[in-house]
Amino acid sequence: MDSFLKRFFPGVYQKKQDSKVSHYCQFDSELLTVFTSSLYIAGLVATLFASSVTRRYGRRTSMLIGGAVFIAGSVFGGTAVNVFMLLMNRILLGVGLGFTNQSIPLYLSEMAPPRYRGAINNGFELCISLGILFANVLNYCVVKITAGWGWRISLSMAAVPAAFLTIGAVFLPETPSFIIERDADADKARILLQRLRGTTSVQKELDDLVAASNLSRTVQYPFRNIFKRKYRPQLVIALLVPFFNQLTGINVMNFYAPVMFRTIGLKESASLLSSVVNRLCATFANIIAMIVVDRFGRRKLFLVGGVQMILSQLAVGAILAAEFKDYGSMDKEYAYLVLITMCVFVAGFAWSWGPLTFLVPTEICPLEIRSAGQSIVVAVVFLMTFVIGQTFLAVLCRIKSGTFFFFAGWICLMTVFVYFFLPETKKLPMEQMEQVWRKHWFWKKIVGEEEETKQAEKTALPSM
C-alpha cells in the first residue's frame, strides 16, 4: 500500500515513482528486507524453546503461548507509529509462529487415526492457505480507504484467528501420547482413544503408545539422540525436506506477490487482486491434497508437484526474459500469462510440498525424538525463509528473470532426492514407522548395520 510505504519506507516509495530505476530494483531496500525477514529469525529462535515446552508441558500449552503472543504482535502492528513498533509486530508474530508451527502439526498427527492422518494434517496447510487468502482479500479491500489508514486494519486483523486459536486450545484435550508420556495414565488415554476412534477396540494402538512412551522416558536429551545412527533417516529428512521447501521460491510468491505483480506493470489494486486469485488456486489445491494424500501417498504428490513447479518456474523466467525489460511496461497479455503460470506454480506447491513438509517429518519420527524432529523442521523453514527474505529483492535486482531459473534448478534437485531417498509412509501407524527404513534400498544400509552390531554384541556377551 502506498500510504504504508510513504509513512515507513519513503525511500522505496520514491524509487517506485522514479522512471529511471529498473523495475527489478524498485523494492530493493535494506530496511524493507529487515522488516520482512525479522519475523523468521524470531521464529527460528522461538521454535528451539518451543520444543522443550511442547515435550514437557504439552502440545496444548505451546498452542496457548503461540496464540497469546500473536495477539500481542497484532496490537503492535495495528497501533504502530514508527518502524520500531513495526519490527516488534514482526518479531512477536515470529515467536507465535515458532510455537504454533512446532505444536499444531504434532497435535494433529498424534490425534489422527493412521488412515486419515495425511488428510487431517493437510488441514493445517489448508488453514494457512485460507488465512493468506483472507489477508489478500482484506488488503484488496482496505487499499481503497482514501484516508490512508487501511494498513492498520491489515496488521491488526491477525488478532482474530489468534484469539480463536487461544480460546480453542483452552478446551482441547491433550494427545493420548502426551497423556501416557507425562502422567503414565493408560486408562485416561484409552478413554480418549475410544472417543477419538469411535470404537472400544483400541488396545493395540494403546499398547503401541505405551511402548513408545516407555522408550521415550529413557531419552533425556532428544536433540542429542536424534543424531544417533538409528535416527539418521529421520534427521536427514527433517533437515532436507524443509530446506528444499523454501528453495521452491514459494515464500517469494506468498510475501512478494503484490510486489512482483506491480513490477510487471499491474496497478496497486490489480496487483492485490492478482494475489487473491493466486491464493484461491492454492486453497483449491490444498483441498485436493486433503482428498488424495491418503489414497495416492506422499511420494506421488511430491514428485508430480515437483514437475509442475519446475515447468512453472521455467515458464515465468522465459516470459520475463523475453518480454519484460528494465524500463517501460509489459504488455497486459504477457502480464496475465505470468499470473496464470504463477497460479499453476502455487497450486503445485499447495498440494505437494506445502502440506507434506510438515506431515512427513512428524509421522516418521518416533515419540522419543518427535518434538526435536519437528523443531528442526520448523527451525530450518524459518532459517531458509529468513535467508531468502534477506536476499531475494537484491538477487531479483541483479539477476532479474534468472531468479526463476535459479529456483527451477533447486526444484529439479529436490524432486530427484524424493525419488531416491523418501519412502512411502501412507496409512502406517506412527509407532511402526521403523519398518519403513529397514525395507528401503538405501536407509536399510544405515539402520540395518546398527541393528546387526547390536545383535552381534548381545550374542557375544555370554562368552565374555
pLDDT tens digits for range 380-412: 988 998 888 788 878 888 888 888 899 999 999
What does pTM read for this prediction? 0.78
Under the banding of pLDDT at 50, 70 and 90, the label for residue 370 is confident
Which pLDDT belongs to residue 389?
A: 79
Average predicted confidence (pLDDT) for the chain: 85
Reported as a single tens digit per residue, the pLDDT across 84-115 is: 999 999 999 999 999 998 899 889 988 888 88
Which pLDDT belongs to residue 463?
A: 44
Which pLDDT belongs to residue 74?
A: 95
Reported as a single tens digit per residue, the pLDDT across 216-251 is: 666 666 788 889 999 999 999 999 999 999 999 887
Q: Is the pLDDT reported for residue 15 higher than 90?
A: no
Reported as a single tens digit per residue, the pLDDT across 299-350 is: 999 999 999 999 999 998 898 888 877 666 677 788 788 888 989 999 999 9
Which pLDDT belongs to residue 464?
A: 39
State the fold for domain 2-450: Growth Hormone; Chain: A; (1.20.1250)
Q: Is the pLDDT reported for residue 142 higher than 50?
A: yes
Give the whole-angstrom CA distance, residue 222 versus residue 55: 10
